[in-house]
Structure 1
Amino acid sequence: MKHNFGGSFEFLLIGLVGAAAPLVSIAVAAFLVQGRHVFYALSFPLHRVRGRLARTYNTFALTDEAYALTAAEQARSWSGRRILWLQLFLHLYWAGGATAGALLGALLPHSVQGLDFALTALFTVLALDAVRDLRGDLPTPLLALLSAVAGRLLLPGQMLLAAFALFTAGLLARHVATVRRPRHA
């Protein structure tokens, strides 16, 4: 069985399955969310990892966290061995955390009120942290908010998929406009 490290898609999948979304919508959402890994792989320091097996494993085990850590300035001097161990520990963390969550979650009574809001609260906190880290980049969260509102108004039954598509299109349009804009010294 192939393990999928698409944690963000796993959260999205819960909502899509709960809403009985069509399989095509789930597939498109998976493609849009997980497609980022193609771009991660292009700049991931795989060239420092020695051995076919180690490289294959590093490609398989690539997560957002591993990419973020290896993209940092201080990671440019890391050896392939350190990158491999990082991937292995993150893999164990993901698998162990998912297993612990499943086991502990099975112990919770089904009648716990308000627990369903925990996921919403988690993403609210993550969004607030991300906005703080943008350092003045107001257009990105504003574009995300507008995409969500437009998705809700235009396709209420497929709001999440529409919002992802609009947000992606908006980011691409902003990138094209920024690249074409002449820079002044």
Structure 2
Amino acid sequence: MGLGLLPLGLALGVLITQARLPWWFASLSTAVVYAGSFEFLLVSLVLAAAPLATVALTAFLVNVRHVFYALSFPLERVHGRLARAYSTFALTDEAYALAAGPQARSWSGARLLWLQVFMQLYWVGGATTGALLGSVVPDSVTGLGFALTALFTVLALDAVRERRDDLPTPVLALLSALAARLLCPGQLLPVAFTLFTAALLARHLATSRRTSRA
């Protein structure tokens, strides 16, 4: 996973340099914000001089999914206030994908914490390196913002393979994304998340009623 984050960080760093932002913006963003997909969006928001309210709302809509991650992330294994605070801060998609899998059930709190530390180091190091080397990458190189989408696609495919008996969930996710693309292409992400959450709740209620009747 770290080797996957490294080229993503490089892509973010190069994107920041191509946007004519200072190289240290990459280090500061990845160290303090550390929000993956939102950091790619943050570049365009900074360039557009977007109001803080717009930045805050965008950050909330993009990262609200982390509220659901916290429901099953094994934070109780991490001991100490400082360690727990950092583990909460560093709860990314990639960290959740690894820690919520069946192979992580026996992992200690220290292993979970160091996993998150090293993942952020890969991210910060990759972005900083990309920003410093960004000047040698020609402006004709495009599509760097798609790097994070590619990683999410790989994580989704891995999740489907691990849970072959739960095919309705990825089908609901795909249908939610397609519906959001047709209905609100300009607000695809928040609309897709809303539709997907509503579909999951409806399925849960339907399943609970069938179970109670049985």
TM-score by length of 2: 0.62
2:62–2:190: 8 Å Cα contact kept in structure 1? no
Evaluate the alpha carbon distance shift between residue 3 and residue 177 of structure 1 in structure 2; reply closer, same or farther with a 3 A threshold: farther
Cross-structure match for 2:89: 60
> Matched residues, percent identical?
63
Cross-structure match for 1:176: 205
2:75–2:84: 8 Å Cα contact kept in structure 1? yes
Cross-structure match for 1:37: 66
- Structure 1 residue ranges without an equivalent (≥5): none
Q: Tell me how far 1:110 sits from its aligned partner.
A: 1.0
> Please, what is the CA RMSD of the aligned residues?
3.8
Q: For residue 141 of structure 1, what is the amino acid of its counterpart?
A: P
* Secondary structure of the structure 2 residue equivalent to 1:82: helix
Evaluate the alpha carbon distance shift between residue 53 and residue 93 of structure 1 in structure 2; reply closer, same or farther with a 3 A threshold: same
Q: 1-side partners of 2:94 and 2:102: how far apart?
A: 15
Q: Tell me how far 1:92 sits from its aligned partner.
A: 1.0
Q: Tell me how far 1:183 sits from its aligned partner.
A: 7.4
Q: 2-side partners of 1:183 and 1:164: how far apart?
A: 28
Cross-structure match for 2:5: none
Residues 144-159 of structure 1: pairs in structure 2 closer than 5 A:
144-159=173-188
Q: For residue 116 of structure 1, what is the amino acid of its counterpart?
A: G
Evaluate the alpha carbon distance shift between residue 174 and residue 29 of structure 1 in structure 2; reply closer, same or farther with a 3 A threshold: farther
1:29–1:161: 8 Å Cα contact kept in structure 2? no
* Secondary structure of the structure 2 residue equivalent to 1:38: helix
1:32–1:164: 8 Å Cα contact kept in structure 2? no
Q: For residue 122 of structure 1, what is the amino acid of its counterpart?
A: A
Evaluate the alpha carbon distance shift between residue 149 and residue 10 of structure 1 in structure 2; reply closer, same or farther with a 3 A threshold: same
- Structure 2 residue ranges without an equivalent (≥5): 1-27
Q: Tell me how far 1:109 sits from its aligned partner.
A: 0.8
1:119 aligns with 2:146: yes
Cross-structure match for 1:80: 109
Q: 2-side partners of 1:144 and 1:25: how far apart?
A: 27
